[in-house]
Amino acid sequence: MKSIQERYPEPYTHCFGCGTHNQAGWHIQTYYVDGVYVGRHRVPPEYSGGWADSMYGGAIAALIDCHTAAAAADAKGRELGLTAADPLPRFVTATITVDYLAPTPAGVEVNLKARVTSIAGRKVHVSCELFPAGSATPTARGEVLMIQVREP
């Protein structure tokens, strides 16, 4: 199954977090499974926060940012009736709020789960939770407003 990020048009494939053509990037991938946007990613341990065993908060925000942008693109594509072969519209972050609920272990795989809560024209609101692999308790939550990029 192709990730949502693999459906981005070429001009939008260079994001550090999720760009498929950014050789130095993280290559975050998002999938739509049973009404939920899911992803898994392992941020290298050198992206630690104040403690060597905890992930840096900016890395957590980046994961949530890229994951919710993909959710917004796919949800808007579904609303527009696009097929899996069609390139998706691209979104940028208007606002992101991250609640850090507990330390996230550094260097371990994390799971991301997002749901689109509303679509109104070019605006898509997405909620996201981040869980260390094997845990049912989120260590971070994000609320994100994504805006669809206007094509020239």
The tens digit of pLDDT for each residue in 69-126 reads: 999 999 999 999 999 889 999 999 999 999 999 999 999 999 999 999 999 999 999 9
- Whole-model pTM? 0.95
DSSP one-letter code for 5? G
**Inter-CA distances, 110 with 18, 74, 78, 148, Å:** 15, 21, 27, 27
Given CATH 3.30.160.620, say whether it is the number of domain 4-148. no
Cα(79)–Cα(46) distance, integer angstroms: 39
**pLDDT at residue 28 greater than cutoff 80:** yes
**Closest of 69, 20, 63 to residue 42, by C-alpha:** 63
Q: At 64, phi and psi to the nearest 5?
A: -65, -40
